Structure 1
Amino acid sequence: MNEPTLRKSRLALAGGLVIALAVGGTGFLIGRGTSPREVEPSAAPVTTAPVAAQPTPSLPDPRDLVKTRADLIALASQASDALASGQPLPEGVADLAGQRFELRLPFGCRGPSEAGSDSPMRWRYDADAKALRVHVSPVVWSSDGLRASEDGSASDVVAEGFWIPRPWTASEACPPSQDSVAPTGADAVTLPGQALAVAQFSGGAGQRLRDGKPYETVVRAAADEVPDGQGLRLRLRGRIGETADGTPVSCRQPAGPEQRPICIIAVTLNDVAIDNPRTGKSLATWTADRAGLADR
């Protein structure tokens, strides 16, 4: 019997190893193909919080919008143009009735009035008594100075209010100081060219006129609280009303078509106050009630 040589032994071992690897690999592949695969767990459903419905923003009530001096001047300008051109008032003007307004009228810009002055809007300081005396008289328009309704039913209407000084500017402050022929301390006068006013009309809902009774107050004031070049300001707050013919503004040309229209805006006053711009404080306030604007 022939003994195996070293070379033959090595070949036999290598062949056996190859056969073993082939059998093992085949078994691994068969087992992998037949074994159940692991199923990956499905992702948990993501829950989202319900989105709250956002309320639709509501538009502000036009009656809550506060009209300013510029708005009142624009209203009068529309009415003036309609009168001068022979056209009806623009659409929407009547809707202004009932809207709120706030207006400040400067006065006493040239300094204190002289003792005994009869200027309708004035102030004077008593240094010895440290007293600031203020006097504001409303203007009263009789039926002759107002435009009556077409049927003449407004022939006895009376209005009471104030001229708006310098109605060509939206500024509510005293005009800048300029060289003028008027001496310091001279009383301002109502010029024939006054063209715009605000007034309460007799018979208005919930109001009574003061019959020309002035707004007067006396307050203690130190020397550094005396009005300077800013003067004082008459503050009017309320709502736009209706004139005798049912519109918010009434214009007329008593001297003919070549005259600039004179317009009166109807208002219902809620309160009247006198402010001191130098201190930023109110000197007096008159509040409307069922009996009209009562003295403070």
Structure 2
Amino acid sequence: MGAARAATAAYAAGGGSPASEAALAGRQFRLRLPFGCLGVSPGTEPASWRYDAERGTLTLTARTVAWTGTPLARSLPEASAIEAVEGFWIPRPWLESESCPALPVPPPAGEPAPDQTPAAKALPPKAQAPRPAAAKAEPAAAPAPAARPLPSPSAQTLGLAEVFREGGSRVFRRGERPYQVVEKSEPPTGPHVYHLVLEGRIAAGADGRVVRCRAETADRRPVCLVTVEFDRVAFEDPAGGKVLGEWRR
């Protein structure tokens, strides 16, 4: 993560790749990406799970992202000989831990969220001449406060990508095939978190670089891909440390 942050800063500043980047080639990595943190699996999470109460089965699914044909993929050396570029987004790359993020306490009803501008207070109406008394009516019930919609998640900005070249190994090339496990299971108790485990090695391109970044404008956070070779993809249940399924090179 530190190397990706350094590469992002260097790209945004208009410089070349950091000197520390070349030393990362061949280094092994292991990431445990939690999913199901909110009881559901929004688009920001790397995988999803669902439980079929009728069949008593638990299904875990992870789909790779295809970057083939994107400007980032076209910036790779020998781009014309590349068949596919696939991998996974790293959600919430600002976190240093492998656990779910802490949920913020929502503000009381009627108060703006931290990232919202407070509404201007209405000025009191001008004094008016009294009107003739009218028949008293029952006071209308105050409407219930509307639920505050959740803000949109941040766009994905960091991914691990494997490059598949012509004539190379296709063991971990998935295409439209997801990583998926279906097994008999007792129903999860409440919101349950699982881990998508990614293991492998950082791979350098022909130019020695391991991180590629691109941004549409100067005031947008660059999107960066770290080129890797995956050795293992697995699902784990952190509650008991059980491996629910794995794929090895």
What is the TM-score with the length of structure 1 in the denominator? Answer: 0.61
Paired residues of 1:273 and 1:282 also in contact (CA < 8 A): yes
> How has the CA–CA distance of structure 1 residues 212 and 247 changed in structure 2, closer, same or farther, with 3 Å as cutoff?
farther
CA distance in 2, matches of 1:247, 1:141: 18
Aligned to 1:154: 79
Mapped contact 1:195–1:262 kept (Cα < 8 A): yes
Shift in Å, 1:285: 0.5
Residue pairs, 1:4-23, within 5 angstroms: none
User: Deviations for 1:60-118, whole angstroms, at most 9, x for unmatched residues?
Assistant: xxxxxxxxxxxxx101111111111122212231121111100111112222569xx9x
Give secondary structure in 2 for the equivalent of 1:146.
Answer: helix
Asked if 1 retains the 8 angstrom alpha-carbon contact of 2:47 and 2:196, the reply is no
Over 3 Å counting, the alpha-carbon distance change for 1:285 and 1:147 in structure 2 is closer
CA distance in 2, matches of 1:142, 1:110: 31
2:174 to 205, 210, 214: 210
Letter in 2 for 1:247: R
Gaps of 5+ in 2: 107-147
Change (3 A) 1:164 1:182: farther
Which residue of structure 2 aligns with residue 89 of structure 1?
Answer: 17
How much has 1:193 moved relative to structure 2?
Answer: 2.1
Aligned to 2:229: 268
How far the C-alpha of 1:235 sits from its partner, in A, is 0.1
Distance 1:235 1:263 in 2: 20
Counterpart in the other structure of 2:214: 252
Task: Give the TM-score taking structure 2 as reference length.
Answer: 0.71
CA gap 1:222/1:168 in 2 versus in 1, 3 angstroms: same
CA distance in 1, matches of 2:63, 2:75: 28
Letter of the 1:215 partner, please give it.
Y
Counterpart in the other structure of 1:140: 66
- Relative to structure 1, the CA distance from residue 149 to residue 176 in structure 2 (aligned partners, 3 Å threshold; closer, same or farther) is closer
Aligned pairs for 1:75-154 (under 5 A) are: 75-112=3-40, 121-149=47-75, 153-154=78-79
Are 1:174 and 2:97 an aligned pair?
Answer: no
Displacement of 1:126: 1.8
Is structure 2 residue 177 aligned with structure 1 residue 222? no
What corresponds to 1:45 in structure 2?
A: none
Asked if 1 retains the 8 angstrom alpha-carbon contact of 2:46 and 2:90, the reply is no
| Offset from partner CA, 1:161-215 (integer Å, 9 cap, x none) | 11111111112112223457568xxxxx8x5621111111122964541113101
CA distance in structure 1 between the partners assigned to 2:225 and 2:189 by the alignment: 30
Q: Which amino acid aligns with 1:219?
A: E
Q: In 1, Cα distance between the equivalents of 2:155 and 2:182?
A: 32
Distance 1:113 1:163, change over 3 A: closer
Tell me how far apart the structure 1 counterparts of residues 199 and 233 of structure 2 sit (CA, whole Å).
7
CA contact (8 A) 1:249 1:265 kept: yes
How far did 1:159 drift? 1.4
Question: Does residue 204 of structure 2 align to residue 242 of structure 1?
Answer: yes
After superposition, the C-alpha distances for 1:223-255 in whole angstroms (9 at most, x for unaligned) are: 3xx2754511100011011247541111111x1
Unaligned runs of 5+ in 1: 1-72, 184-188, 289-296
The structure with the larger Rg is 1
Displacement of 1:149: 4.1
Equivalences for residues 45-84 of structure 1 within 5 A: 73-84=1-12
Aligned position for 1:62: none
> % of aligned pairs identical?
37
- Structure with a larger share of its residues in strand: 2
Asked which structure has the greater RCO (Cα within 8 Å, sep 6+), the reply is 2
